[in-house]
Homo-oligomer: A and B are copies of this chain.
Amino acid sequence: MKFYDCKTAPSPRRVRIFMAEKGIEIETVQIDLGKGEQFGDAFRAVNPDCVVPALQLDDGSCISEVLAICDYLEAQHPEPALLGTTNEERAQILMWTVKVEQQGLLSVADAFRNAAKGLKERAATGLIGYPQIPQLAERGRGRVEQFFRRLDDQLVDKEFVAGDRYSIADIAAMVVVDFSAWIKLTLPEDVVNTRRWYESVSARPSAQA
């Protein structure tokens, strides 16, 4: 297998943390997003959507999208379980992972991509460029803060995002918090549950990945 990564990007980091938790090591290829390597013929043959991460299997087929990659690796390396051990636990983890992606990660991405100087005509990922929409950057910032508060409500009586066990939902949410530093947003003082949780998950050795 080959893992297509970009050391500085938030989405592949989710998979790196996942692999660190499980002690999985896979041959890794760095794709230089700053230089546009994701748009080159070589990487487009791996993932036509021009985004990392991607996992190439030995038969040449390719899995992209973080959730699909993690689910595949979990099947091969079940321990420690990061996608739940019962159907009910798994459902909460999947549900929260989707919520974190759609409410958190996409909001930071909206805020970042629609304001960053280097992405004026690249406000959406993929080969076709789209011009920035400043209003969308502003809306993204509002939605990121809304997400931090949503998470705070969830964490009032739970140790982790999807319940009492560390999971891919925590990885996704921690990456959202760190990604939001790119747009100079930090956790508000009053989201005390989110802050307590963030401190805890960030102290895990895997967070260095």
Contact = CB atoms under 8 A, between A and B. Distances in A.
A150 B48 contact: yes
Interface of A: 48-49, 57, 61, 63-65, 67-69, 71-72, 75-76, 87-88, 90-92, 94-95, 98-99, 102-103, 106, 123-124, 126, 128, 130, 133, 135-136, 139, 142-143, 146, 150, 153
The secondary-structure label for the interface of chain A is: helix
A77 to B, nearest CB: 11
Contacts of A99: 49, 64-65
A123 B75 CA distance: 38
Contacts of A90: 71-72, 75
Given A88-B61, A124-B143, A139-B133, A68 B49 contact: no
A67 B94 contact: yes
Nearest to A147: B126
Contact of A135 (B71, B88, B133, B146): B133
A128 B75 CA distance: 38
A106 to B, nearest CB: 8
Contacts of A64: 95, 99
